[in-house]
Chains A and B, each alone.
Chain A
């Protein structure tokens, strides 16, 4: 038979375990929530002046910011302007434009390649680059958010 002393001690232990649990669980929740960074509100940018026409010579490209997104604006060998997300769809590196072989986008991280329509044509990228509309207003190249 359990003595009254042992019984009291058992109850006391249970109370201590309960109290500790009541403290530890919310503490873990607080730490867990603290680790998740708050989402930053970024003002939505509908369009930007990416460059002046003279800034991107024929068969070259420039990387610009559209909000927080890197966009690559290319002046193709045929003379038109196109814009795509500059983020490689494989593992997120920034692609570069290469003017040989008729022009294409290359990612130096794992050798992924995209054609001038943004389509993934070689290497590990699983998806095409997202295109962005380009309009020319006077001397300005305007890139709009899709």
Chain B
């Protein structure tokens, strides 16, 4: 198909104008030269892009919710109720916001573990892994800080527990809890703090780190798993892989809209800090493994409190996981180490088992 010559001239002029100012053609050339390895695991590369898609949905719907939400204990619950019941499509926008946060946690976890098992963290991509893990923590932070905002009973007790967990840490635990809560108990101060974190601080930090993560990913290119034969010539990032991303985003949009309409996110009863925790109270699914561990652990293990043991194991595992690129020295030499693969399987197995246990009990 040929473009109209006049239109072609205008198009070229626009591109030239933009290129002179924002290096558009250089950027396009750079992306066109980027190649994505073509092998039996190429499918898993799509989950990074999917996570980005859900982040964009979060930002857009979050801004829309901000127009009506009021972050005070007196008005928060009523404002969310107002969004659900009175604002045109308010129920839908809120449901999309909540469900996309769940999908985002799901895709970021799949993305992280696929990167782990393909050992894409190895030299020279260590900084991509390090920034990616920080993004996972920030995403969980988004989930935690956003949970209290509707100020309903479940949210209240989930925040009570979540802010109490760090307390068992010697010396600094009490200070962390006090800082998070903005006082000694969950109150209006906690709500405003978590609100500020959720809508200003975390988004700013996440956008900065996402920019850094994506930039490094573009500069280094996509990693190829060690010893996996290629199925064919590499795929051009632009336009072929971008089109695959595009299609995935469309499928994800349809799924998200279907879930948001079919299963609108509810709102419990208004938080009452002097009412018993309701029966069946549980955090969001991505905290179930932690929840179940806290539930089954005895109060004392070898004279240490159960929470302290959980906290220590969690922090130590997290730090080791973060530093995996420097621990798996074989991967840096393009050699596979089955012990690290086994470690990943054990961690995934533990998370899945505890999550299912919590879900079924």
Main secondary structure of the interface of A (DSSP, over half): loop
Please state if A91 and B275 are interface contacts (CB–CB under 8 Å): no
* CB within 8 Å of B: which A123-139 residues: 123-126
Residue-wise interface mask of B (131-145) relative to A, using a CB-CB cutoff of 8 A (1 in contact, 0 not): 000000000000000
Chain B residues within 8 Å of A96, by CB: 276-277
In chain B, what residue has the closest Cβ to A93?
A: B277
Q: How far is the CA of A126 from the CA of B307 in the complex (A)?
A: 10
A-B contact count (CB 8 A): 75
Residue-wise interface mask of A (25-54) relative to B, using a CB-CB cutoff of 8 A (1 in contact, 0 not): 000000000011100100000000000000
Instruction: Pick from A36, A65, A68, A95: contact of B276, CB below 8 A.
Output: A95
What is the size, in residues, of chain A's interface with B at 8 Å between Cβ atoms?
A: 27
Chain B residues within 8 Å of A65, by CB: 274
Residue-wise interface mask of B (276-307) relative to A, using a CB-CB cutoff of 8 A (1 in contact, 0 not): 11111100000000010011111110000111
Chain A residues within 8 Å of B182, by CB: 37
In chain B, what residue has the closest Cβ to A36?
A: B179
Counting chain B residues whose Cβ lies within 8 A of the other chain, the interface size class is 20 to 34
Please indicate which of the listed interface residues A35, A64, A91, A96 has the most CB atoms of chain B within 10 Å of its own CB. Answer: A91
**A-B pairs with beta carbons under 8 Å apart, 14 shown:** A90-B299, A91-B165, A92-B160, A92-B161, A92-B164, A93-B157, A93-B160, A94-B275, A108-B276, A109-B277, A110-B295, A123-B295, A124-B296, A125-B299
Supply 13 further A-B pairs (C-beta < 8 A) apart from A92-B160, A92-B161, A95-B277: A35-B179, A68-B185, A90-B294, A91-B160, A93-B157, A94-B274, A107-B277, A109-B277, A109-B281, A110-B291, A126-B300, A126-B305, A126-B306
Interface residues of A, Cβ cutoff 8 Å to B: 35-37, 40, 63-65, 68, 70, 86, 90-96, 107-111, 120, 123-126
